[in-house]
């Protein structure tokens, strides 16, 4: 089944479909995924065993850092291989052997998280009866918090966790909805499960309730890798010779992530018995929920307003002159007055995101892979150059809707990449991607007059670390976010430095950066933010990524004044 077909049939089947939400659905709320935690556990174990600083492995997104860590554990020979389903539980237990310590670690990550756009959407679906049952192995309470907000309290919500497993079967038999089943317990449960032995001994009653529910309803799985054998065996048991999953089994999967063999076997086995079972590609939980929301034409406006952005708290005014008694706080944000509203959409026979990136490397384009096709910025000639060998069947424009910029979507990703390209074309800066952010640093051997104010504050703009060949530069970390109905460039002054695997050099580098940043107190920090804001915005002229009219260019205009905050009324 293709993604578009699922969107069409969901509205018809919604009341007969359950949801299974894994750790990936909480990523946009700021909670690390299981994959991210695995690398943190590896770093902790490695650095403790080698008696080195964790800063020596600070950038866990670096292929060289990951390679070093993995080589260490592979050499030991007693740890699970990389991407094994057993990695999370094994490394978690190896790092923190005591259950109380594991609870403390989980508490650290989940206690301060806030529900994402996707959580608010699914809570709205619960309220409208378009979703009834949600299963999750997550420790956070983002689903419950969203549901409480949607229902205005806890009275109508049934939560079955390890401490109250019998509630799940009771609620299903009595038709009490919504039901939220917490397979591993929330982070405050004294029976929280998160090691291999504990996962294998999944609570009997909750497992029975999961299996029973899968025999009554279909299931949508999102953000879940399939690592837990206890959960996967329950889902496999629910196939029940073709009698399970009467509404279908739909497993949503990020195309760039590995699909575990257990998941492939489950889908294949279910399909062989006549169950409608499919693996469907999608980038994020928020993207899926946003698309489902747009396909629903019967959601009351009141629910839509709760799901959407809060009422605007922005006012277009000028800051008061210095010396006034009304406190003003400068924000490290510049409003994007102009950003791309359309891009190219290409339909062809190419595969997933990995194949798209490989093809795009042969041309001067910025691309992203979505279910609707390839989204691209660049001249038409270059776009066709990249994908003409894949039998192009559609070549038109794609509108970039503001609703898709509220979360980590493909559209937001290509806009972010296009902005980085713009800045490096129009400013004396270089760009280096770091996950969903970019580091913009001052180019070596530059003498641009627009950098003079920055040099007056920092004395030097870049150089080479003494006794090494490592380069460093004054820089700013930037990311783009859509908030309160507007697009913002958030930026934070920092120091860029070259990566090194040499521990001694890393220590020297960390000491150098620490000393350079140590004296930057409020006054200097304020000056840095103001100065970087002027460098990034220039004189608020239009910047283009490609300067082409024969295609889909990406143009940006930045406000010259940073956002600021103050009390709405004097006291």
Q: pLDDT (tens digit, 9 = 90+) per residue, 323-354?
A: 555 556 778 899 999 999 999 999 999 999 99
Cβ atoms within 10 Å, residue 405:
18
Q: What is the pTM of this model?
A: 0.60
Are both 67 and 25 inside the same structural domain? Answer: no
Question: Is the C-alpha dihedral spanning 36, 37, 42, 47 positive or negative?
Answer: positive
Mean pLDDT over residues 58-87, rounded? 89
Residue 144 CB neighbours (<10 A): 21
| 290 and 188 housed in the same domain | yes
- Inter-residue contact 173 to 209 (CB < 8 Å): no
Give CA–CA dist 462/479, Å, rounded. 22
CATH classification of the domain holding 192: 3.40.50.1220
Domain limit, last residue, from 110, 127, 160: 110
User: ω into residue 508 within 30 of 0, thus cis?
Assistant: no
472 plus 549 within the same structural domain: yes
Kindly state whether residues 341 and 478 are assigned to the same domain: yes
Residue 408 pLDDT grade (very low, low, confident, very high; cuts 50, 70, 90) = confident
66-82: average pLDDT: 93
Residue 326 lies in a domain: no
Task: Look at the chain and report how many structural domains it folds into.
Answer: 3
High-pLDDT (> 70) share of the chain, %: 91
Last residue of a domain, one of 90, 110, 130: 110
Query: Which among 135, 56, 70 is positioned nearest to 500, based on CA atoms?
Result: 56
CA–CA–CA angle 504, 510, 512 (5° rounding)? 105
Whether 259 and 362 share a structural domain:
no
Same domain, 75 and 154: no
- Residue 317 forms part of a structural domain: no
Question: pLDDT value at position 310?
Answer: 39
Domain co-membership, 119 together with 176:
yes
| Partners of 347 in the β-ladder | 394
Residue 480 domain boundaries: 331-571
> Are residues 392 and 479 both part of a single domain?
yes
Identify the sign of the CA torsion 19, 22, 27, 31: positive
Q: What is the Cα–Cα distance from 310 to 321, expressed in whole angstroms? A: 30
Q: What is the C-alpha separation between 376 and 353, in angstroms, rounded? A: 13
Is residue 348 within 8 Å of residue 387, measured between CB atoms?
A: yes
d(CA 524, CA 530): 10
For every residue of 144-176, DSSP letters joined together read HHHHHHHHTSSTT-EEE-TTSTHHHHHHHHHT-
502 three-class SS:
coil
What are 492's strand-pairing partners?
A: 477
Whether residues 230 and 376 fall in one domain: no
Q: pLDDT tens across 448-493, in order?
A: 899 999 999 999 999 998 888 899 999 999 999 987 778 999 999 9
């Amino acid at each position: 089944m293709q993604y578009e077909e699922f969107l069409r049939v969901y509205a018809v089947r919604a009341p007969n479909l359950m949801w299974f939400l894994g750790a990936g659905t909480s990523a946009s709320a700021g909670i690390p995924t299981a994959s991210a935690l695995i690398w943190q556990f590896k770093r902790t174990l490695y650095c403790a065993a080698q008696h080195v600083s964790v800063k020596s492995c600070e950038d866990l997104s670096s292929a060289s850092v990951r390679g070093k860590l993995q080589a260490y554990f592979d050499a030991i020979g007693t740890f699970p291989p990389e991407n094994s389903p057993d990695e999370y539980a094994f490394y978690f237990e190896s790092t923190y052997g005591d259950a109380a310590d594991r609870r403390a670690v989980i508490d650290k990550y989940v206690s301060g998280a806030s529900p994402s756009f996707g959580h608010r959407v699914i809570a709205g679906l619960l309220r409208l009866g378009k979703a009834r049952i949600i299963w999750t192995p997550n420790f956070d309470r983002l689903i419950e918090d969203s549901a409480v907000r949607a229902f205005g309290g806890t009275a109508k919500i049934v939560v079955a966790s390890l401490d109250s497993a019998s509630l799940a079967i009771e609620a299903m038999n009595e038709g009490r909805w919504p039901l939220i089943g917490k397979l591993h317990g929330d982070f405050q449960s004294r029976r929280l499960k998160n090691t291999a032995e504990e996962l294998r001994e999944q609570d009997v009653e909750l497992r029975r309730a999961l299996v029973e529910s899968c025999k009554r309803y279909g299931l949508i799985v999102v953000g879940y890798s399939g690592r837990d054998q206890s959960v996967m065996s329950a889902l496999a048991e629910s196939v029940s010779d073709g009698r399970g999953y009467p509404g279908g089994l739909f497993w949503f999967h990020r195309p760039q992530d590995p699909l575990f063999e257990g998941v492939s076997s489950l889908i294949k086995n279910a399909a062989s018995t006549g169950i409608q079972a499919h693996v469907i590609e999608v980038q994020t939980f928020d993207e899926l929920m946003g698309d489902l929301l747009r396909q629903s034409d019967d959601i009351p406006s009141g629910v839509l307003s709760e799901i959407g952005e809060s009422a605007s708290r922005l006012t277009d005014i000028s800051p008061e002159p210095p010396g006034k008694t009304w406190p003003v706080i400068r924000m490290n944000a510049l409003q994007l007055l102009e950003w791309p509203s359309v891009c190219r959409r290409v339909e062809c026979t190419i595969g997933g995101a990995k194949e798209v990136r490989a093809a795009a490397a042969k041309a001067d384009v910025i691309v992203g892979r979505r279910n609707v096709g390839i989204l691209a910025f660049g001249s038409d000639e270059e776009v066709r150059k990249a994908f003409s060998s894949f039998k192009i069947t559609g070549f038109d424009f794609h509108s970039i809707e503001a609703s898709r910029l509220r979360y980590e979507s493909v559209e937001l990703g290509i806009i972010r990449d296009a902005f980085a390209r713009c800045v490096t074309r129009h400013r004396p800066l270089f760009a280096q991607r770091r996950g969903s952010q970019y580091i913009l640093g001052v180019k070596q051997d530059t003498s641009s007059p627009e950098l003079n104010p920055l040099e007056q504050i920092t004395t030097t703009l870049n150089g080479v670390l003494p006794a090494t060949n490592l380069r460093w530069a004054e820089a700013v970390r930037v990311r783009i976010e859509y908030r309160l109905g507007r697009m913002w460039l958030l930026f934070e002054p920092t120091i860029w430095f070259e990566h090194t695997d040499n521990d001694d050099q890393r220590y020297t580098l960390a000491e150098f950066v620490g000393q350079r940043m140590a004296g930057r107190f409020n006054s200097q920090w304020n000056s840095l933010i103001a100065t970087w804001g002027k460098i990034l915005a220039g004189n608020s002229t239009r910047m283009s990524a490609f300067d082409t009219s024969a295609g889909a260019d990406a143009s940006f205009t930045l406000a010259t004044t940073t956002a600021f905050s103050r009390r709405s009324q004097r006291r």
